[in-house]
């Protein structure tokens, strides 16, 4: 197993966790963490045993791979700089603020032979991973992603902050082009949309009803997936998967019994799994689970939803 020189750019709430994971993995040698707040950078650096920086330019050409966990409006600039220096990238979602920027990063990654993975973390939720073999011929999806208000992340709308998680998963599961979108939403506490609903119709006939809110009094992250012969319920928050399938026998004349299987995945670390996957893709030169192209499609759909609300 080769050693990969790593760094984390932006060590606020989420970036600190990235740094912790890199410092724990055997094939990672964490060289530095970067944050414009020098006290915060030094605090995290002391926790994980590396050097603190305030300017990411000092690490250009000095590391093999970085996690970029800065505000969304800085994703393009920071990612592009590292890609030009041949550095492999794990950038948090959304990939960028515009589709054109996403296209440029994808092209830069290809021309510099770099891995470009995007941090749609729910793809590594064990409940989602467990149901991958159960997914085909989906007819209807309903998802709710609700959270109390938190000023962190409000530089973008609830669509790019929260809904994009479910948009990405749904696009991956349905694997069909979007035919039509209807949407509604409103601002409540911020200057942007804080609650939104979208109805996405796909060319294969599947329909997804997606709701996201950051002004809820509780956290709720669930998705329900309906097929002709089964119904799957995913609880992202509690890492639970319930599968309901037609069974043998009848509960009523002409109505089949329902077989129920429920699984809970208590011992899991989705962020660690995501970073392990990133480093493995670098070592094996394989395609990441969430590519730049995947993230661009999620961003495009999120932007289309946002434009319907303006």
Cα distances (Å, whole numbers) of residue 92 to 15, 74, 78, 79, 125: 9, 11, 12, 10, 16
Cα 31 from Cα 45, distance rounded (Å): 9
Cα distances (Å, whole numbers) of residue 159 to 153, 302, 308: 11, 6, 12
Cα distances (Å, whole numbers) of residue 143 to 122, 192, 289: 13, 21, 21
Cα 78 from Cα 73, distance rounded (Å): 10
Cα angle 221, 185, 156; round to 5 = 70
Q: How confident is the model at residue 306, as a pLDDT?
A: 93
Q: Which two tokens stand for residue 230?
A: 């089964």
Q: How confident is the model at residue 1, as a pLDDT?
A: 54
DSSP E strand stretches across 62-219:
65-68, 88-92, 116-119, 138-146, 178-186, 195-202, 207-213
Cα 267 from Cα 280, distance rounded (Å): 21
Neighbouring residues of 72: CB distance < 8 A, sequence distance ≥ 6: 92, 94, 96, 97, 155, 156, 160
Cα 27 from Cα 265, distance rounded (Å): 26
Cα 56 from Cα 241, distance rounded (Å): 41
Q: How confident is the model at residue 36, as a pLDDT?
A: 96
Q: How confident is the model at residue 37, as a pLDDT?
A: 97
Q: How confident is the model at residue 153, as a pLDDT?
A: 61
For the chain, which residues score pLDDT lower than 70?
1, 153-155
Cα 292 from Cα 150, distance rounded (Å): 28
- Residue 299, classed as helix, strand or coil, is helix
Q: How confident is the model at residue 52, as a pLDDT?
A: 98
Of the candidates 98, 93, 152, the one whose C-alpha atom is nearest the C-alpha of residue 122 is 93
All domains of the chain, ordered by start, with CATH? 4-122+271-291 (3.40.50.720), 123-265+300-309 (3.30.360.10)
Q: How confident is the model at residue 154, as a pLDDT?
A: 65
Specify whether the CB–CB gap between 274 and 256 falls below 8 A: no
Report the predicted TM-score, pTM, of the whole model to 2 decimal places. 0.92
């Amino acid at each position: 197993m080769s050693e990969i020189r790593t760094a984390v750019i932006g060590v606020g709430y989420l970036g600190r966790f990235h740094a912790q994971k890199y410092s724990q993995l055997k094939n990672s040698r964490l060289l530095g963490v970067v944050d414009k707040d020098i006290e915060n950078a030094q605090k995290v650096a002391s926790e994980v045993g590396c050097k603190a920086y305030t300017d990411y330019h000092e690490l250009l050409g000095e590391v093999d791979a970085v996690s970029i966990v800065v505000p969304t409006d800085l994703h393009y600039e920071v990612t592009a700089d590292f890609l030009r220096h041949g550095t492999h990238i794990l950038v948090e979602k959304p990939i960028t603020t515009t589709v054109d920027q996403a296209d440029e990063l994808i092209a830069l990654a290809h021309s510099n032979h770099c891995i470009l993975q995007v941090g749609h973390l729910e793809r590594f939720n064990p409940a989602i991973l467990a149901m991958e073999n159960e997914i085909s011929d989906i007819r209807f999806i309903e998802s709710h992603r609700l959270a109390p208000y938190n000023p962190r992340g409000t530089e973008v709308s609830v669509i790019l902050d929260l809904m994009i998680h479910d948009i990405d998963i749904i696009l991956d599961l349905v694997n069909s082009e979007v035919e039509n979108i209807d949407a509604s939403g409103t601002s409540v506490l911020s200057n942007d949309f804080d609650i939104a609903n979208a109805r996405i119709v796909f060319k294969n006939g599947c329909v997804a009803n997606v709701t996201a809110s950051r002004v809820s009094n509780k956290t709720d992250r669930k998705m329900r997936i309906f097929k002709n012969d089964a119904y799957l319920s995913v609880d992202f928050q509690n890492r639970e998967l319930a599968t309901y399938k037609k069974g043998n026998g009848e509960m009523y004349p002409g109505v089949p019994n329902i077989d129920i299987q429920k699984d809970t995945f208590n011992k899991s670390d989705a962020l660690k799994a995501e970073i392990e996957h990133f480093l493995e893709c670098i070592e094996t030169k394989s395609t990441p689970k969430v590519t730049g192209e995947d993230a661009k499609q999620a961003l495009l759909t999120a932007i289309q939803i946002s434009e319907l609300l303006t």
